[in-house]
């Protein structure tokens, strides 16, 4: 295998320690701040040291199989991934989801840099596995898991993809106002926003919303909600689920259309009634958002592309 014929993109992220140093300018000032509050600064140092050791060792292995380009998470939205180029992600589950959103079918090899610290639901490999996995991945001899995504399309042409979930609602802690339509049902809402979840995201934020719903009341969808809360749904499912957070009943706002299934034949349509504070963001990245203000309509449906996670 000629490594010059292959390119491998290695996606990494800043550690908590690096973020602290960026905030306080020096390691010493960061340490003083954390210890002054009574916290254990050594945990930050151990995490940082372990992470960078794994990256260094991973690069030594990867250069045997291709030209390695390291990419920080902050540059994901603006980076153009070459077609048919494998992507290696070293980090937490969230970094895998963040990366999948910007790919066009390139497979991901996801590595857990610290299994003692991170559960790693999306991180099937340890650093020592790379020497065996990479040549098989480059030769397309590894099994893959298809991961469905969600897409929000606005009537002004903008679109936003999500690997875990979409949030449609207000920028801050005020009520979101909108009209919601699913199939032949339409309702005006005042709520704290809507969560639309993929199968991959069904064990995260969506599960938290459903857990609250199950413990508050039992309605016609209680059995389905409880099943989703306990089991989620498959990562490759060609459909989404949505749940409205804290809907408020009033003379002009309803609380019936607050949960449901979304697929290609039955997209979710939302028209904003928020003058200047509506947003749509995905996968918990609030900085990467679309404005969603009065008159704008969002069409939410399964995305036209999927992610590939190498097993």
Q: Do 162 and 149 meet the contact criterion of CB atoms below 8 Å apart?
A: yes
> Any idea which residue has 């910007």 for tokens?
102
- Tens-digit pLDDT profile for the chain (311 aa)? 555 578 999 999 999 999 999 999 999 999 999 999 888 999 999 999 999 999 999 999 999 999 999 999 999 988 999 888 999 999 999 899 989 989 988 999 999 999 999 888 899 999 999 999 999 999 889 999 999 999 999 999 999 999 999 999 998 888 999 999 999 999 999 999 999 999 999 888 888 888 777 665 556 667 788 888 888 899 999 999 999 988 888 899 988 888 899 999 999 999 999 999 999 999 888 878 999 999 999 999 999 999 999 99
Is residue 309 in some structural domain?
A: no
Q: Are residues 107 and 210 in the same domain?
A: no
Is residue 311 in some structural domain?
A: no
Distance (Å, whole) CA 148 – CA 232: 14
Q: Are residues 193 and 81 in the same domain?
A: no
Q: Helix, strand, coil % (nearest 5) of the chain?
A: 30, 30, 40
Number of domains in the chain: 2
Q: Do 303 and 159 meet the contact criterion of CB atoms below 8 Å apart?
A: no
Q: Are residues 161 and 18 in the same domain?
A: no
Q: Are residues 189 and 99 in the same domain?
A: no
Tell me the pTM: 0.83
């Amino acid at each position: 295998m000629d490594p010059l014929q292959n390119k491998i993109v290695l996606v990494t992220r800043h550690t908590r320690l690096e973020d602290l140093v960026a905030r306080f300018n020096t390691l010493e000032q960061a340490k003083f701040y954390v210890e002054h509050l009574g916290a254990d600064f050594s945990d930050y140092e151990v995490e940082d040291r372990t992470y960078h050791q794994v990256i260094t060792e991973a690069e030594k292995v990867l250069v045997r199989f291709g030209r390695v380009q390291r990419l920080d998470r902050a540059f994901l939205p603006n980076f153009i991934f070459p077609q048919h180029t494998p992507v290696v992600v070293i980090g937490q589950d969230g970094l895998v989801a963040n990366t999948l959103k910007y790919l066009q079918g390139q497979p991901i090899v996801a590595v857990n840099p610290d299994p003692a610290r991170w559960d790693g639901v999306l991180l099937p490999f340890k650093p020592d596995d790379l020497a065996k996995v990479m040549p098989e991945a480059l030769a397309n001899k590894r099994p893959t898991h298809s991961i469905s995504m969600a897409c929000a399309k606005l009537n002004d042409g903008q679109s936003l993809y999500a690997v875990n979930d979409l949030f449609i609602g207000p920028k801050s802690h005020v009520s979101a106002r909108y009209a919601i339509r699913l199939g032949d049902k339409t309702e005006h809402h005042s709520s704290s926003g809507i969560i639309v979840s993929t199968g991959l995201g069904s064990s995260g934020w969506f599960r938290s919303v459903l857990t609250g719903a199950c413990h508050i009341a039992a309605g016609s969808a209680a059995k389905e909600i409880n099943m989703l809360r306990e089991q989620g749904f498959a990562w490759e499912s060609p459909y989404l689920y949505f749940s409205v957070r804290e809907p408020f009943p009033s003379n002009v706002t309803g609380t019936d259309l607050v949960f449901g299934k979304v697929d290609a034949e039955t997209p979710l349509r939302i028209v904003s009634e928020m003058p200047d504070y509506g947003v749509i963001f995905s996968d918990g990245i609030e900085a990467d958002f679309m404005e969603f203000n009065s008159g704008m309509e969002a069409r939410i449906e399964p995305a036209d592309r999927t992610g590939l996670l190498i097993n």
